[in-house]
């Protein structure tokens, strides 16, 4: 049977790792007005850098309402945490899992990760406006208190606002890179520079080589 790189479920689209290479999983959350597969396009160019063949990419189908009501926020949070839990049950080391997203998707990634009980490798994202919802501060648990957050920031802020926000509640900052303000209108296009930034985050958090743990 031919290898099919795509798996569709009622909760997400999964782009499988290259056969026999899977050691890591990256869950990417889309923003408002997008679909789960809106970001599938970034898998191929990221793999061309040579650091992502071992990674399965999962794109959840999230629900955003105009009022950003608590039920939809909770539903998105629960779905991402469910996916992470399922990956761990399948045998993926929690430290080999990263969660990220774009704009509202990054908000979901932060909330679901920092309020979760499984310690994962990192949170990575792209944003036009970096904010941390009060819910993150209120629900933050010890499991991911040291999980690094790395962001490509398209907001144009020049005073390290995003990094300062994370530092204000002692969340480690992996990296904050300036993104393209011209690309801030939506998912595409992601500039080559932004892809390189994401690739550097991924390579650091989910390296090809599995380092022996003490």
The values of phi and psi at residue 205, to 5°, are -80, -40
Peptide bond into 40 cis (omega under 30): no
**Residue 132 — φ and ψ, nearest 5°?**
-120, 115
Does some domain include residue 214? no
Q: 76 lies in a domain? A: yes
pLDDT digits (tens, 9 = 90+) for 67-117: 767 788 899 999 999 999 999 999 999 999 999 999 899 999 999 999 999
Which residue did the predictor score with more confidence, 65 or 169? 65
CA distance 121 to 62: 22
Does residue 139 sit within a domain?
Answer: yes
213 part of a folded domain: no
Task: Flag the least confident range among 2-11, 148-157, 171-180, 183-192.
Answer: 183-192
Span 197-208, mean pLDDT? Answer: 93
Domain count, the chain: 1
Tokens in use for 70? Answer: 């608590």
CA 176, 181, 182, 184 dihedral sign is: positive
- 8-60 confidence digits (pLDDT tens): 999 999 999 998 899 999 999 999 989 999 999 999 999 999 999 999 999 99
Contacting residues for 81 by C-beta, under 8 A, at least 6 apart: 112, 116
Instruction: Say what the pTM is.
Output: 0.91
Task: Give the model's pLDDT for residue 42.
Answer: 93
Instruction: Report how far residue 73's alpha carbon sits from residue 64's, in angstroms, rounded to the nearest whole number.
Output: 8
What's the domain range around 126? 6-205
pLDDT at 189: 63
Domain assignment present for residue 59? The answer is yes
What CATH number has the domain bearing residue 141? 3.40.50.1820
Q: 82 in a domain, yes or no?
A: yes
Q: Which of 160, 154, 78 is nearest to 111 (CA)?
A: 78
Please report whether residue 63 resides in a domain: yes
Asked if residue 210 belongs to a domain, the reply is no
């Amino acid at each position: 049977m031919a290898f099919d790189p795509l798996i569709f479920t009622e909760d997400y689209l999964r782009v499988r790792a290259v056969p026999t290479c899977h050691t890591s999983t990256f869950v990417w959350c889309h923003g408002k007005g997008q679909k789960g597969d809106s970001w599938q396009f970034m898998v191929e160019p990221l793999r061309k850098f040579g650091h992502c063949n071992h990674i399965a990419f999962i794109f959840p189908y999230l629900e955003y309402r105009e009022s950003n009501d608590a039920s939809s926020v909770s539903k998105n949070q629960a779905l991402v945490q469910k996916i992470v839990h399922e990956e761990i049950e399948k045998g993926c080391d929690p430290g080999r899992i990263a969660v990220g997203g774009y704009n509202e998707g990054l908000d979901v990634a932060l909330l679901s990760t920092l309020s979760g009980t499984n310690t994962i490798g990192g949170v990575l994202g792209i944003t036009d406006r970096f904010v941390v919802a009060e819910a993150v501060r209120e629900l933050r648990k010890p499991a991911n208190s040291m999980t690094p957050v790395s962001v490509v920031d398209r907001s144009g802020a020049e005073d390290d606002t995003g990094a300062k926000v994370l530092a204000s509640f002692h969340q480690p900052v992996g990296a904050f890179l300036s993104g393209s303000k011209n690309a801030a209108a939506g998912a595409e296009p992601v500039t080559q520079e932004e892809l390189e930034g994401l690739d550097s985050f991924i390579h650091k958090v989910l390296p090809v080589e599995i380092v022996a743990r003490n």
